[in-house]
Amino acid sequence: MTPPDASDPVRDLVHDHADLNRRVLELGAIFERPPAPAQLLPTLQELREHMFLHFAREEEGLFPLVSEWIPEFAEPVLAMVSAHDAVCGALARMIYTAHAEVDAAALPGLFTRFQAAYADHARQEAALLAQLDARLDATQRGQLAELVRSL
């Protein structure tokens, strides 16, 4: 996998999402053979950390600027924030269930819900980032890169 272009924050976020996609697929592979909750916990917590960082970079860096620079993107950006909440909520439920080892039988269903929310979010975000890639100029990319680097 080639490293992201540090000077292009949109492509960097696309690269981040590729890494998240890989991690979600790896989690799916774990669920193909029924895992013990304790075995799942480290993988779930690592995914959470990567996902929260990625979402924070978007919500604190990309989204406010995009909404300001391209007002017609304000509604899709708001939809992305709601999608982040759905994905994080499902992930948090899996972590709680795995940590507490309560109702471990619920984990596959929770993963299915998480996977569906994440897949829907990833499609929407890929489309949004492709549109942004076509619309942002060099100055905007520079400002965005500086802001995202500071997060």
Q: Where residue 61 sits, what CATH number does that domain have? A: 1.20.120.520
Q: State the Cα–Cα distance between residues 96 and 67, nearest whole angstrom.
A: 34
Stated pTM of the model: 0.82
In a domain, 3, yes or no: no
In a domain, 45, yes or no: yes
pLDDT of residue 7: 63
In a domain, 42, yes or no: yes
98's CB contacts (< 8 A; 6+ apart) are 37, 38, 40, 41, 44, 104, 107
Count of domains in the chain? 1
pLDDT of residue 151: 67
Q: State the Cα–Cα distance between residues 122 and 126, nearest whole angstrom.
A: 6
In a domain, 144, yes or no: yes
Domain of 14, in residue numbers = 9-149
pLDDT of residue 136: 85
Q: Write out the chain's pLDDT in tens, 151 residues.
A: 334 445 677 777 777 778 898 999 999 998 888 778 888 899 999 999 999 988 988 898 888 988 999 999 999 999 999 999 999 999 999 999 998 877 778 899 999 999 999 999 999 988 888 888 888 888 888 888 887 777 6
In a domain, 2, yes or no: no
For residue 86, what are its two tokens?
A: 């759905």
In a domain, 1, yes or no: no
Burial category of 54 from C-beta neighbours within 10 Å (exposed 0-12, middle 13-18, buried 19 and up): middle
Q: Strand ranges (DSSP E) for the chain?
A: none
In a domain, 4, yes or no: no
